[in-house]
Structure 1
Amino acid sequence: MHSRSPVSTVLRDRKSGKAPEVGAIELFFDLVYVFAVIQLSHFLAAHLSGIGALQVAILFLAVWWGWNYTAWAMNWLNPDNVLVRILLAVLMLASLGMSVSLPAAFDDEALLFAGSYLCLQLVRSAFMVWACRGLRLGANYARLLAYSALAGVCWLLGGFLPDHQLWLWALAVVIDYAAPMVNFTIPGFGSAPMSTWPLHREHLAERNRLVFIIALGESILIMGFTLTDLELTAPVVTATLIGFVGLVLLWWNYFAVPSGGEREEDPEGEQQTAIARSAFAYAHGIMIAGAIVVAVSIEQITMHPTGHLDAAVIGCVTGGPVLYLLGNLLYSYARSGALAWSRVVVIGLLVALAVLAGTTHLLTPLALAGLATLCMLGLAVFATRAEAGQGQG
């Protein structure tokens, strides 16, 4: 009796054609990112400036890419395999190192952040090259590994050269994010086009839905921690209610059916992978970034509901929903192939609201938050009515 080969046990059984279930070890891995999202929110709250926003954007993009590539790898890996579980434990430890170092990533703990991120990216890709050896997917991951190593040079140099850290890490992010857009092309060694990454989109959809809910849950935690340190005055309670309604509306609009319905299913084809890249790798990253900014805005409004409305607060209160809606717009378009004009209209309203708040100085932080929430409520009502109309049709 012949034993099964390592490849057949490490990789998922895809012969059934069914989307693979999300394994318990995958959910366990995601727990680290609850901490990461909280750390990012605190970093942004402590650095509400142009440079601070750029720094937190770089850190977020690295954190998101680490999670995203792991979610994609688990589309092929068998979560019940012992080696895969050990891999995820190692990746979880690297993610924890990233998360711990976030508050001082542009200071004393730059090397811890860069080293943890590089470990996360290189170990995963190297494991995939081994697990998929002899398959086209293995060659694809070898190219991804090369791009991660190239970006890693910039990450490490940034850790060693603090005076050049910002632009080196920005360059590293560009390399990481541009790699799939150019199909991981290596001159003289070919490329890895979308058609050579067969996957089950529903597995990725479930992973991304769960991590989006994690991001919303982080906002609930921040809201609760903020309230424990404040006197529950009428403005504070009102700000909390507005913030809570705003979070519910983010959730509501996320699950709203996009206009035009779902594209025709293509379980293993090129279109499936292209849809997944836009809808999950990029769109969800933008939406979760928006949710993080919304969390910071809730904290700022709750702590100073009737205080001075400065540019940083305006940017958080309106910029968070705008970021979210931009991601939601891309998500909807990737799924349906149709542009959701309702989201475009609400983005325009939020931008106009930000201009009004910045030029007239007539609004308090609480009033601005209330108006921004009304914009999101209008979108939720429209989406619900549109969904009901499609169901009757």
Structure 2
Amino acid sequence: MTHPTAPAGLLRRMTSRSPYEQHRAATPLELFFDLCFVVAVAQAGVRLVHAFAEGHFGSGVLGYVLVFFAIWWAWVNFTWFASAYDNDDVFYRLAVLVQIAGVLVLAAGVPRAFDDANWAVCIAGYVVMRLAMTCQWLRVARHNSGAERATALKYAVGLALVQVGWFTVLFVPEGTRLYLFVVLAAAELSVPLVAERGFHTAWHPHHVAERYGLFTIIVLGETVTAATVAVQEGLDEHEALGELLSIAGGGLLIVFAAWWIYFAAPAQERLTSMKRAVQWGYGHLFILGSAAAIGAGIEVAVEQVTGQAHISPVAATGTVTVPTALFLFTGWFLQARHVKRDVAEKALMPVTVLAVLACTFLGTWGVLAAGLVMSVTVAFGVALSARPDSDALRKPRAA
């Protein structure tokens, strides 16, 4: 089935698209969907900055992880569903609109969740998104038969049951909510694993890899925006101009190197089985979450230099270097390590992770140092891949 250029009437049959389509690319609706989701990511980043600036590292990280998981998981479910069943009819577009509305409601509730532990608005927005996804799976069940219909029904029932669980979070004692969050998050992650037994949906490897790559770029772009705003606000502090410029320069180097490193290995060549796809897709929670946290960390570093953050220079720098190291390690673990040939290539990224973490202890100038370390890593990686037998890099080894 080829992707329609425009919706044909109100409804089209929601049958699976071929995973072998040529030139399959992200649609304008998918790109719009991503941009709306980044609004929620930005809100989570803003609250993380406030928490770190006040030295509330534990509660800040916890709140950020809970909010980001909801945003990321709703995005993941739509992405894989759309790769298999995007028929682009009017009902499909309206269902996507409902999901966008849901994430905007979730974003509006982020400040209450962080500041007052009031999760009502966030949960309401999340449930709206998931119910729209449930309706999409019911359409798949209606228009298909056999094992494919059974898989769609398992998705729909699983999603509906978990949403009931999220609704009950609002009525349990506050002290038990975290435990229920963990249980429900595990249940969310298990729905695809259970539903796909016996029948695998026809997602498109190149399309999925492109969608993840594009969302990673958008999140990194949001990081640049956040860092720019932070530096603009701090430029009135002329005495700290040198430190501010070092943070801005180091942050730009980090983000650009992160982009370069992420796209150095072709992700679609790893997506050859459901097991690999699950590992790669789920692992992006850490890649995307850390990418967004880098921007928050740069803002914290700027606020520390200008006297607005009540933490030490080392702690402020750590809010940049730790998520940067997590981004690098996860990207290496999920993708890059599978295309490395010898000791030099295999050791490059782990050594970089340790070097970036070590930059934390340089204090105010640690962000710039981390950016320079990553720039050197990119240079070494380019040199190593340019060797005569570099074609081997394009042949991932078996897991």
TM-score by length of structure 2 reads: 0.81
Structure 2: runs of 5 or more not aligned: 1-7, 393-399
- More displaced 10-residue stretch of structure 1: 297-306 or 281-290: 297-306
Counterpart Cα distance in 2 of 1:151 and 1:351: 38
Residue 121 in structure 1 maps to residue 121 in structure 2: no
Counterpart Cα distance in 2 of 1:348 and 1:323: 10
Give the superposition deviation at 1:328. 0.4
Q: Deviations over 1:192-224 (max 9, x none)?
A: 338623321111111111111110111121122
Secondary structure in structure 2 of the residue aligned to 1:75:
helix
Counterpart Cα distance in 2 of 1:194 and 1:244: 46
Residue 319 in structure 1 maps to residue 331 in structure 2: no
Match of 2:149 in 1: 138
Match of 1:297 in 2: 297
Is the Cα contact below 8 Å between 1:19 and 1:201 reproduced in 2?
A: no
Structure 1: runs of 5 or more not aligned: 185-190, 266-270, 358-362
Q: Equivalent residues in 2 for 1:106-185 (5 A)?
A: 106=114, 107=116, 109-133=118-142, 134-161=145-172, 162-180=174-192, 183-184=193-194
Residue 331 in structure 1 maps to residue 334 in structure 2: yes
Residue 35 in structure 1 maps to residue 39 in structure 2: yes
The root-mean-square deviation of aligned C-alpha atoms, in Å, is: 3.0
Is the Cα contact below 8 Å between 1:157 and 1:168 reproduced in 2?
A: no
Q: Give the counterpart letter for 2:140 in structure 1.
A: A
Q: Deviations over 1:327-380 (max 9, x none)?
A: 2023315965989542222223334455xx2xxxxx322x22123223322321
Q: Deviations over 1:90-122 (max 9, x none)?
A: 111111111111121253751221122122123
Q: Equivalent residues in 2 for 1:38-57 (5 A)?
A: 38-48=42-52, 49-57=57-65
Secondary structure in structure 1 of the residue aligned to 2:85:
coil
Q: Give the counterpart letter for 1:199 in structure 2.
A: W
Secondary structure in structure 1 of the residue aligned to 2:386:
helix
- More displaced 10-residue stretch of structure 1: 225-234 or 310-319: 310-319
Match of 1:382 in 2: 380
Is the Cα contact below 8 Å between 1:215 and 1:288 reproduced in 2?
A: yes
Residue 364 in structure 1 maps to residue 368 in structure 2: no
Counterpart Cα distance in 2 of 1:108 and 1:54: 11
Is the Cα contact below 8 Å between 2:140 and 2:152 reproduced in 1?
A: no
Identity %: 22
Q: Give the counterpart letter for 2:44 in structure 1.
A: L
Q: Quickly say closer, same or farther: Cα 1:311–1:52, change in 2 above 3 A.
A: farther
Q: Quickly say closer, same or farther: Cα 1:38–1:340, change in 2 above 3 A.
A: farther
Tell me how many residue pairs correspond in the alignment.
366
TM-score by length of structure 1 reads: 0.82
Give the superposition deviation at 1:147. 3.2
Choose the corresponding residue for 1:347, options 341, 344, 353: 353
Q: Deviations over 1:3-23 (max 9, x none)?
A: x99986434542864363322
Is the Cα contact below 8 Å between 2:301 and 2:313 reproduced in 1?
A: no
Q: Deviations over 1:37-89 (max 9, x none)?
A: 11111121122321221121111111100001000110122353111111111
